[in-house]
Amino acid sequence: MITRSIPITVAIFLASLVTTVAHAQVVVRGRTVHTMSGPSISNGVIVITDGKISQVGPANSVTIPAGYRVLDAEVVTPGLIDAHATVGLSGILNYKHDQDQLEHSAPIQPELRAIDAYNTQDELVTWIRSFGVTTVHTGHAPGEAISGQTMIAKTFGNTIGDVTLVESAMIATTLSPSALKKGKPKSPGTRGKLMAILRAKLIKAREYQQKLIKAEADKKPDRDLALETLARVLSREIPLLITADRAQDIASALRLAKEFDIDIVLDSAAEAYLLIDEIKAAGVWVIVHPAMYRAVGHRKNQSFETAATLKHAGIRIALQSGYESYVPKVRVVLFEAAIAAANGLTFDEALASITIDAARLLGVDERIGSIAVGKDGDLALYDGDPFEYTSHCIGTIINGRMVSDKIR
């Protein structure tokens, strides 16, 4: 049974990891275990068998199997989930050969797949993993009207097949000045033109979809990967992920969704607090802008309190590391949640925004996002309150394997 005598020192924890190996049979003991599937557990134990959680509960209710590796932590949470990033595509530095997050040859390219650009060996993936981030929703960045697809991936694995949870999660769409390219004939220069080309492409996709349904097998129209992808949006198989910050752009996103009866997720949404009633009526999720975005231009009215304002108004939210075209290329959602918790969210609400609520948004909550029997063995281990600046992530477990043991 875990008692008050278990505070972990860095030295003890490092000693326990000297022989770190791939291991899917693990027991994790935590003075506090935030399950996110129910109340937190004091002196809790989690048993992971063959990569899945097989037992979880107070120490006196769990049988520790013989031969399992045992790890201790002050605080244990589900593996963290970054609800929107470009990690794996944007590279660690501004080197041209490392920048696959944006293709500027055309304003609308929904056929571009994140899985074809994701680098499992990206140093930034390793970096965020060391803070407890086990899953990312990542892909093409905002910056074109439609820049491409996103994917959902674990942050550990050798090949794209090893890491991928969802190959095509959303279609990255931009209703902000970054998509306006004045003077370039193939790109929109105004908001009116941006909306017009989006509507026109969706109408073409609808016509293409109808032709496929009506045509005989030997008279199908030639394949068009862009229209095929947008047809999936029209069938509500996948949503548009619409990056919009100004209230007028958020309103345009909601209007587009209503016109075509499609699912959307609002991304960034710096001025979402001006459209509380409209967003609630639409029932859409908001992936709130990183607190550490620079508050300039179309984001000049962003607030540290945006997450709390939306959450307490009854709008479903998750947090993200986001994307800006400068170095460094990634933030850590752990710190984003800490800032949100310091500016109106409760501890549980902030943790949910990077665990179970993010999993629900992404449609993967049956596998990840909380600590419960049958779910993936993805855990983050800390030596104190994870939102406290002086605390450290002391271990990250994915599918029952210790994949990071650096003290962060």
**Tens-digit pLDDT profile for residues 245-285:** 999 999 999 999 999 999 999 999 999 999 999 999 999 99
2 occurs within a structural domain: no
Q: What's the gap between Cα 320 and its chain centre?
A: 6
User: Which of 51-65, 121-135, 204-218 bottoms out in mean pLDDT, i.e. has the lowest?
Assistant: 204-218
3-state secondary structure of 52: strand
Q: What is the full DSSP assignment across 365-404?
A: TTTSSS--TTSB--EEEESS-TTSTT--EEEEEETTEEEE
Q: Is residue 3 part of a domain?
A: no
Mean pLDDT, to the nearest integer, of 137-146? 95
Q: Average pLDDT for residues 127-151, to the nearest whole number? A: 96
| Residue 152: closest CA among 380, 366, 372 | 366
Half-sphere exposure of 77 (CA within 13 A, CB side): 28
Same domain, 257 and 339: yes
Helix (H, G, I), strand (E, B) or coil at 4: coil
Residues 252 and 318 in one domain: yes
Distance separating alpha carbons of residues 83 and 65, to the nearest angstrom: 35
Q: What is the pLDDT of residues 174-202, one digit of tens each?
A: 999 989 887 777 789 999 999 999 999 99
Residue 99 confidence (pLDDT): 86
Residue of 160, 150, 153 whose CA lies nearest to 136 = 153
Question: Which of 344, 362, 380 is the endpoint of a domain?
Answer: 362
Residues in CB range of 347: below 8 A, 6 or more apart: 341, 387
Considering the domain architecture, whether residues 340 and 302 belong to the same structural domain is answered as yes
pLDDT tier for residue 100 given thresholds of 50, 70 and 90: confident
Measured CA to CA, the distance from residue 11 to residue 5 in angstroms comes to 16
Most confidently modeled range among 12-16, 185-189, 355-359, 404-408: 355-359
Instruction: State whether 98 and 28 are in the same domain.
Output: no
The number of domains in the chain is: 2
Torsions phi, psi of 235, nearest 5? -85, 0
Domain shared by 300 and 244, yes or no: yes
Per-residue confidence (pLDDT) for residue 9, from 0 to 100: 40
The reply to whether 198 and 50 lie within a common domain is no
- Residue 40's CATH number: 2.30.40.10
pLDDT attached to residue 278: 98
Q: Return the CATH number at 270.
A: 3.20.20.140
Round to whole Å and give the CA distance between 88 and 118. 5
Residue 8 predicted with pLDDT over 60? no
Any domain includes 181: yes
Give the amino acid at 405: D
Q: What is the C-alpha separation between 224 and 230, in angstroms, rounded?
A: 10
Same domain, 162 and 238: yes
Same domain, 247 and 313: yes
Question: What pLDDT, on the 0 to 100 scale, is given for residue 184?
Answer: 75
Residue-range definition of the domain harbouring residue 54: 10-78+370-404
pLDDT band of 143, cuts 50, 70, 90: very high
Residue 4 lies in a domain: no
Q: Are residues 170 and 317 in the same domain?
A: yes
178/120 same-domain check: yes
According to the model, what pLDDT value does residue 103 have? 92
Q: How far apart are CA 65 and CA 261, in angstroms?
A: 52
Q: Residue 114 in 3-state DSSP?
A: helix
* pLDDT, greater one: 292 or 329: 292
SS3 category, 211: helix
Q: Write the CA distances from 393 to 77, 83, 152, integer angstroms.
A: 11, 20, 23
What CA–CA distance (Å, rounded) separates 56 from 64?
11
Cis peptide before 39 (omega within 30 of 0): no
Let me know if residue 190 belongs to a domain.
yes
Say whether both 70 and 176 belong to one domain. Answer: no
**DSSP annotation of 328:** S
Question: pLDDT at position 91, please?
Answer: 84
- Determine the pLDDT at residue 12: 37
pLDDT of residue 94: 75
Domain-embedded: residue 209: yes
Instruction: Name residues whose C-beta falls within 8 Å of residue 336's C-beta, 6 or more positions apart in sequence.
Output: 290, 291, 292, 319, 320, 321, 354
Same domain, 67 and 109: no
Q: What is the mean pLDDT of residues 390-400?
A: 97
Condensed to tens digits (0 to 9), the pLDDT of residues 203-249 reads 999 999 999 888 876 678 889 999 999 999 999 999 999 999 999 99
